[in-house]
A = this chain, B = another copy of it.
Amino acid sequence: MKIGLAQYDPAIGAFKHNVVHMIRLAGKAREEGCELIIFPELAVCGYPPLDLLERREFIQENLRAADRLMSEVKGIAVLYGCVSLNTRGAGKPIHNTAILFEDGKVLAEVHKRLLPSYDIFDEARYFEPGTGSTPVNFKGLSIGVTICEDIWNDSVVFSERHYSVNPVAELAEKGADVFITINSSPFDIEKAAFRYHVLSRLAAKYRRPFFYINAVGGQDCLIFDGGSMAVDVTGEIIAQAKDFAEDLVTVDTDTRQGEKHTISVSKEEAVVKALKLGLKDYTDRCGFNKAILGLSGGIDSSLTAAVAAQAIGPANVLGVIMPSPYTSETSIEDAEALARNLGIRTIVTPISGIFDSYLQTLETVFEGKGRDVTEENIQARIRGNLLMAISNKFGHLVLSTGNKSELAVGYCTLYGDLSGGFALISDLPKTMVYKVAGYLNSEKEIIPRRVLTKPPSAELRPGQKDRDYLPPYDILDAILEKYLEQNTPPDRIIAEGFNPDTVYRIIQMVDRSEYKRHQVPMGPRVTTRAFGYGRRYPVCHGYRRQAENIG
Contact = CB atoms under 8 A, between A and B. Distances in A.
A150 B310 CA distance: 53
A543 B378 contact: no
A508 interface: no
A535 interface: yes
A282 interface: yes
10 contacts: A12-B540, A51-B536, A56-B487, A122-B122, A219-B538, A351-B361, A362-B389, A377-B389, A519-B520, A533-B536
A374 interface: yes
A17 B389 contact: no
A91 B163 contact: yes
Nearest to A91: B164
A: interface residue count bin: 35 or more
Interface string A4-15: 000000011110
Interface string A178-222: 000000000000000000000000000000000000000001100
Given A124-B117, A353-B361, A365-B349, A392 B419 contact: no
A157 interface: no
Given A349-B365, A358-B389, A51 B541 contact: no
A366 interface: yes
A54 interface: yes
A265 B26 CA distance: 63
A385 B48 CA distance: 36
A265 to B, nearest CB: 30
A390 interface: yes
Give how many copies assemble into the complex. Answer: 2
Interface in A1-29: 11-14, 17
A520 B122 CA distance: 22
Give 8 nearest A-B pairs by CB, closest first.
A13-B543, A14-B542, A11-B542, A124-B124, A12-B541, A415-B415, A285-B540, A374-B392
A436 interface: no
Nearest to A12: B541
Contacts of A350: 361
A369 interface: yes
A378 B382 contact: no
A315 interface: no
A118 interface: yes
B374 A389 contact: yes
Contacts of A491: 57
Contacts of A14: 541-544
Given A51-B537, A52-B541, A365 B347 contact: yes
A36 interface: no
A358 B378 contact: no
Contacts of A219: 538, 540-541
Contacts of A314: none
A164 B17 CA distance: 37
Interface in A369-391: 369, 372-374, 377-378, 381-382, 384-386, 388-390
B521 A164 contact: no
Given A349-B362, A489-B56, A543 B90 contact: no
Contacts of A337: none
A282 B393 CA distance: 37
